[in-house]
Chain A
Amino acid sequence: MLLRASGRHSGEQYDFSTINGVPATDGGIPHGLLLRGFAEAVLGRDDAVLARRRADIAGRLGPAALVDAAAVVGLFNAIDRVADATGIPLEPEKAAASVELRSALGIGKFSADAAAD
C-alpha cells in the first residue's frame, strides 16, 4: 500500500485500522478525520451531511484541497469498480508484503464474502 510507503518515507506512524471505520480516528494522518468524513459523505446519500463536510474541507484546507480530495474520492470510487468487474487478483508481491496488514484490517473477508454469494 502506498500509504504505508508514504509513512515509511516521512517517518510517520499511521494507524491503518481506522481505514475500515473503527476506531473513528485520524489514523495519524493530518486532518484524517475531516478527509475520512468527506469520503464517507460523498459515497453516502445524505446531502446535508455532505454539504457540511464539503464546507469543512474548503474552510480548513482550502478550495484547492477540496477539489483534489473530491477528485481522489471520485477516481477510487471508479477504479474499485474496474478491479471488481474484471476480477483482477492482487499481485503476488503485494499480497506477500501485506499479509499482516490485510489480516489486521479484515480485507480478505471482502473476497470471502463475495465468494460465498
Chain B
Amino acid sequence: MRADLAAGHRRAWQRLASPGTWWTGEERLAIAAEARHAAACRLCRQRAAALSPYTVGGDHDSLGTLAAPLVELIHRLGTDPGRLTRRWYDSIVVAGVAPEKYVETVAVVVTVVAVDSFARGIGAAPWSLPEVLPGRPAQVRPAAQQGGAYVPWLEPEDAGPAEADLYPPGRPPAHIYKAMSLVPAEVRGFFGDLVNTQYLPAAAMRDFDREFRAISHAQIEFLAARVSALNRCEY
C-alpha cells in the first residue's frame, strides 16, 4: 500500500477523535459510530426501498447517544444520499442542527465512508474507532454566506488570512471544494488526507501526460463515474 495513502488514512482517523470546530472529539466519535450503525437500521432499509423516503415514518435504530435530528442526518447520508433535498436539509436545521454542525457532521460521516469503503474494497477488516482526544472545539466561523448550495459557503474573495490556503491556486475553486468551506478545517482534512491520496491531488487530475497511480487516468475516472451513477449523484 502506498505510504501516502496509509499516512492520509492515519491522519483522517486521528481527526475523528480530535476536537473539531463545532464538535468535541467524543461527539465526533459518536457521529462516526452512528454512521457505521446506520447500515443495520430497519427504517433506513424501508426508506431506501420506498418510491419516496419521505413517505415512510418511524424511528431510526440508533445507538442512543445523539439527538434525533442528528441521527436522521447521519443515517440518511449513509444509506440514501442520492435523494436528499433542500426541504430535508431545512428540516434538519429547523430541528436544531446548526449549519456549521451539519457540515462538520457530514465531514465525519464521509471520512468513515471513504476509509471503510476502501477497506471493504481491499478485503481488510474495518478499523476500530480511535480513543477520544481531549480538548474543546475551536468554534471559528469564516465569513461564509448563503450561495448556490444548501449550506453557506466561502467565496474566495471572502476568505480571510486564516483561509488563504483553502482552495487550489490558479483557478476558481470547483463547487466541491467550497461545499464544506463553512468549516475550513474539514476542507483541509478531507482534501489533504483523503482526496489527494485516494484519488489525485488537484494538479494531477488534469495532467494527462503522466500517470500517478497503478491504474490510468481513464480507469480512475471510469470508476469514479460508475460509483457516482450508482449513488445517483448528479454533481
From the candidates B85, B119, B209, B227, name the one contacting A39 in the complex (CB within 8 A). B227
Residue among B123, B226, B232 facing the most chain A CB atoms (10 A cut-off):
B226
Q: Which of B181-235 contact A (CB under 8 A)?
A: 190, 194-195, 197-199, 205-206, 208-209, 213-235
Are the CB atoms of B113 and A71 closer together than 8 Å? no
Q: Which of A37-73 contact B (CB under 8 A)?
A: 38-40, 42-43, 50-51, 54, 61-62, 64-73
Are the CB atoms of B175 and A90 closer together than 8 Å? yes
Cα of A24 to Cα of B115 in the assembled complex, Å: 28
Cα of A82 to Cα of B229 in the assembled complex, Å: 15
Interface size on B, residues (CB 8 A): 78
- Would A86 and B103 be within 8 Å (CB), given that A70-B121, A78-B111 are in contact? yes
Cα of A43 to Cα of B217 in the assembled complex, Å: 21
Query: Which label, helix, strand, loop or mixed, suits the secondary structure of the B interface?
Result: helix
Cα of A9 to Cα of B217 in the assembled complex, Å: 11
- Would A73 and B227 be within 8 Å (CB), given that A30-B218, A42-B121, A114-B84 are in contact? yes
Interface size on A, residues (CB 8 A): 69
Are the CB atoms of B222 and A27 closer together than 8 Å? yes
A89: chain B residues at CB < 8 Å are 148-149, 175, 235
Q: Does B162 count as interface, using CB distance less than 8 angstroms?
A: no
Q: Does B143 count as interface, using CB distance less than 8 angstroms?
A: no
Looking at the complex, which of B14-22, B24-32, B62-70, B75-83 is the stretch in contact with chain A? B75-83
Are the CB atoms of A84 and B82 closer together than 8 Å? yes
**Interface code B116-131, partner A: CB below 8 Å = 1, 0 otherwise?**
1111111100000000
A3: chain B residues at CB < 8 Å are 218, 221-222, 224-225
Task: Give the shortest distance, in Å, between A76 (CB) and chain B (any CB).
Answer: 4
B52: chain A residues at CB < 8 Å are 116-117
Cα of A9 to Cα of B218 in the assembled complex, Å: 10
Residue among B102, B107, B110, B116 facing the most chain A CB atoms (10 A cut-off):
B110
- Would A76 and B228 be within 8 Å (CB), given that A82-B190, A111-B234 are in contact? yes
Q: Does B5 count as interface, using CB distance less than 8 angstroms?
A: yes
Cα of A6 to Cα of B219 in the assembled complex, Å: 10
